[in-house]
């Protein structure tokens, strides 16, 4: 279902076009006024609306039925319907910045309180584009001052926020912010908490492929060093036995060594 959209006219001015929503009416949200359907038709035709834009708006407008209007005006176009809906207030338009500027303004006007909760100051018209934001109600000067104190905002921080939101500054920054909040020119949205990681050990384990060649193994039986060492051990044992027998018989060791070598 259509809700709202930013559309630019031929001169480059952006407008938020939306269905009338009484729940979002504030002192700061002032829609453009049209004297009659002729002036509103001129406005409609000056907009660079995407294809099918007015048709989607019309089919979503339950307050001003498109089918009944077409039955009464079979020769008129969908732009004529939009013009009449504007003139009667069933559709409303608000001057605004382009979407990129709106996003940048919102990014530059974010702040956290001492508990890490995030807040965002933004123009009231931003509510027309995002109906699901949680808004902190500011209806009095004392509430505005309490918010400034809660967020520990000094004049430098306030000045940056006001400049980011294109607020004309003629008084002290804190006074300008209080006025903008109470009048509804700026609204304070409560940002959702940041998502936390599922666990502290989120990682991808390295898997060894079964296609990788297995480490080379050495055949102990076929190792030349192993064979030489085994034979050397056997020879040493034989020599020791011969020398032991020679000692028992009283035979000189040199003769036994010569016999052993000859064998």
Would the pLDDT of 131 be above 70?
no
Q: Which residue has the tokens 């027309």?
A: 128
Rounded to the nearest 5°, which phi and psi values hold at 98?
-70, 165
Q: Are strands 186-190 and 134-136 parallel, antiparallel or unpaired?
A: antiparallel
| Structure token pair of residue 228 | 């030489």
What pLDDT band is residue 55 in, cutting at 50, 70 and 90? very high
Would the pLDDT of 222 be above 60?
no
Would the pLDDT of 211 be above 50?
no
Residue-averaged pLDDT of the chain = 78
Q: What percent of the chain has pLDDT over 70?
A: 68
What pLDDT band is residue 251 in, cutting at 50, 70 and 90? low
Would the pLDDT of 261 be above 70?
no
Q: Side-chain half-sphere of 150: how many Cα atoms within 13 Å? A: 15
Neighbours of 126 (CB within 10 A): 22
What pLDDT band is residue 210 in, cutting at 50, 70 and 90? very low
The pLDDT of residue 236 is: 55
Alpha-carbon distance values, 120 to 24, 74, 143, 149, 170 (Å): 18, 48, 16, 15, 23
Higher pLDDT among residues 51 and 253, named by residue: 51
Kindly report the pTM of this predicted structure: 0.59
Residue 188 burial (10 A CB sphere; 0-12, 13-18, 19+): buried
The pLDDT of residue 228 is: 44
Mean pLDDT of the region 196-206: 47
């Amino acid at each position: 279902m259509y809700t709202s959209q930013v559309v630019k006219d031929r001169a480059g001015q952006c407008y938020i076009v939306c269905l009338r929503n009484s729940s979002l009416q504030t002192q700061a949200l002032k829609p453009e006024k049209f004297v009659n359907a002729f002036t509103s038709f001129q406005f409609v035709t000056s907009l660079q609306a995407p294809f099918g834009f007015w048709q989607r708006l019309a089919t979503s407008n339950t307050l001003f039925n498109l089918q009944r209007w077409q039955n009464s005006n079979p020769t008129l176009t969908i732009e004529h319907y939009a013009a009449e809906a504007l003139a009667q207030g069933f559709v409303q338009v608000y001057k605004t910045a382009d979407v990129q500027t709106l996003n940048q303004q919102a990014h530059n006007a974010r702040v956290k309180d001492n508990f890490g909760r995030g807040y965002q100051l933004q123009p009231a018209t931003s509510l027309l584009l995002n109906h699901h934001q949680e808004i902190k109600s500011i209806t009095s000067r004392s509430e505005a001052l309490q918010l400034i104190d809660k967020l520990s905002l000094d004049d430098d921080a306030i000045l940056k926020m006001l400049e980011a939101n294109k607020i004309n500054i003629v008084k002290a920054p804190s006074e300008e912010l209080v006025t903008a909040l109470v009048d509804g020119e700026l609204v304070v949205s409560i940002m959702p908490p940041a998502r936390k990681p599922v666990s502290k050990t989120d990682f991808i384990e390295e898997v060894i492929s079964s296609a990788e060649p297995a480490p080379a193994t050495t055949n102990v039986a076929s190792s030349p060093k192993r064979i030489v060492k085994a034979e050397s051990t056997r020879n040493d044992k034989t020599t020791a036995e011969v020398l032991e027998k020679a000692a028992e018989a009283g035979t000189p060791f040199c003769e036994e060594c010569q016999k052993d070598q000859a064998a």
